[in-house]
Amino acid sequence: MSDHIELGKKGEEIAVAHLTGLGYRILERNWRLGKEEIDIIARDGNFVVIVEVKTRTSNALAEPETSVTKSKQRILVRTANAYINYRKQQGEVRFDIITVLVRQEGETINHIVDAFYATRS
């Protein structure tokens, strides 16, 4: 398996540990709709939380969350809608981004709650 896939898996493990430590209940990991995927789907009280995880070894060029473009946001919203309908989930939907910087000295986690909103386009 390639290094970037392994790094991504490690970041998702760290994100799951972070979320469960905050009391979130993990509903799904790597939920797919065709070619599209939601990294983590969790429950936080009345919220169904759609979590995009971005893992990097450096933020020298840009912060990891900047790679969640408007196009990626539209894909996440569409995929989240399919999940909500398929699983018949109740409650409000929220979109979070968790960035994980993995360095020799340790990991840094940034959890951006309500990182973006579903909008009509």
Cβ within 8 Å of residue 108, ≥6 positions away: 100, 101
Q: What is the pLDDT of residue 26?
A: 98
List average pLDDT for each run of 10 residues in the chain, which is 121 residues long: 82 97 98 96 97 85 79 95 94 95 91 88 51
Q: What is the pLDDT of residue 44?
A: 97
Listed by start position, the domains of the chain span 3-116
Question: Domain 3-116 class?
Answer: alpha beta
Q: What is the pLDDT of residue 78?
A: 95
